[in-house]
Amino acid sequence: MNEIASTRRGLPLHTKILIGLVVGAVSGLIANVVAARSPAVADAVGFAASNIAEPIGKVFLRLVIMVVVPLVFSALALGVLELGDVRRLGRVGLRTLGFTLILSFSSVAIGIGLVNLFKPGAALPPEKRADLNARYADVATGAEKKAAQSKSVRDTLLDLLPENPLQEMVGAVDGTSKGNGMLAVMVFSLIVGVALTVTPDRTQALVQVLQGIFDVTMTIIGFAMRLAPYAVACLLFAVTAQLGFDILLTLLRFVGTVLLGLGLQMFVVYPLLLVFAARIRPVEFFRKVSEAIFTAFGTSSSNATLPTSLRVARDELKLKPEVSQFVLTVGATANQNGTALFEGVVVLFLAQVFGVALSVGQQVTVVLMAVLAGVGTAGVPGGSIPLIVIVLKTVQVPAEGIAIIIGVDRLLDMCRTTLNVTGDLVLAACVSRVEDREPGAPIPDSVQG
């Protein structure tokens, strides 16, 4: 799988995006200050924001949105197929699945808890929020409509099973779904993945088609990412020209919330599991896996870090290779705790920024989508971006809001990938330890390295 965010020559893409952020933010701030003094300048800035900056930003967003449904469908079905080894692998697989769910839910719960506690997006002054919503009026009206018809938790859960998956696919993008939109599509994809696992002999052709769809969608997202530096500059100009310094302070609070959440999972939840489930001293564990941690931080890619993780698991942690190979390979895609936490926080943060009140049912939807997105996100730099766009659309928060966070994404990507990879190693340590306690238990041939 290629990196979403690779460029062939010149500056690395993430540096270009950062430059885009700075150029957009600084020019927007200057425009904001000057426009406050001169109505003529204010008109010109408003015109440029609506007719030049925003359309360019929208091209980027549309390129991403157009492939999100096939991307999610193929990624999740293939992901389950990989996890399908779970069935073949019996106990090891089930334990992996169990620990993955515990780790993913705890990280999403931490993220959502913090964002509800600190409300980083709510700090925006009400008049600025009104301005922002006026700019994205069409989406805001949709949000109100959706909030008015918000469903009970029971119906939200029932609607996880789509009656008509195609209708949900269409509705996931244009907001007309009858059920849960993207979440229902995700559940449908999981079911297709399970069915593929059970009929391996006759479905090889379909698996290849799904792999092809996945590769093509990733390539198109790669095209979109090449536009990202310009789109970020434009979208950020539009937002800062209107909102001034307030939005940047809000952004800082967001970064702080994400980092605190990642820190809690890394230095509180993981050590607890290490002590009680894996029986390893946390300090020793972190020292032994430091090479994988630094690789993850430097590459922002779980996939690229996999060889290093496999090595430290074998040479440093001395885990059983037959267990750690399986757990780490599956975990690189399926157990992305940092990504799940980040996706949950981003969506609730942007809902706060735009003043969209999410019902309990919608918050449950965000939690489930964040956990599933942790499974469906490719382990490459910026892998979460398409999934965030679609979760935003599901809960009717303007997808343009992604511009507010994408400029700082690389830094947060480095940190969340570090958590993703450390989480995989914690998972491997826990599963190995539990296996060790049952000596003589057979390991299926399919995982023997």
The footprint of ligand ASP (CB under 6 A) covers: 300-302, 336, 339, 377, 379-384, 413, 416-417, 420
Nearer to ligand ASP, 297 or 443 (CB): 297
Nearer to ligand ASP, 147 or 411 (CB): 411
Interatomic CA distance for residues 302 and 422, integer angstroms: 10
Nearer to ligand ASP, 63 or 241 (CB): 63
Q: How far is the CB of 239 from ligand ASP (least distance, A)?
A: 22
Nearer to ligand ASP, 93 or 383 (CB): 383
Q: How far is the CB of 373 from ligand ASP (least distance, A)?
A: 9
Nearer to ligand ASP, 28 or 379 (CB): 379
Q: How far is the CB of 435 from ligand ASP (least distance, A)?
A: 25
Q: Which of 260, 419, 231 is nearest to 340 (CA)?
A: 419
Interatomic CA distance for residues 103 and 426, integer angstroms: 10
Q: How far is the CB of 405 from ligand ASP (least distance, A)?
A: 12
Nearer to ligand ASP, 197 or 302 (CB): 302
**Tokens found for residue 64:** 């991403």
What's the burial of 362, exposed, middle or buried (CB within 10 Å: 0-12/13-18/19+)?
A: buried
Q: How far is the CB of 148 from ligand ASP (least distance, A)?
A: 33
Q: How far is the CB of 352 from ligand ASP (least distance, A)?
A: 21
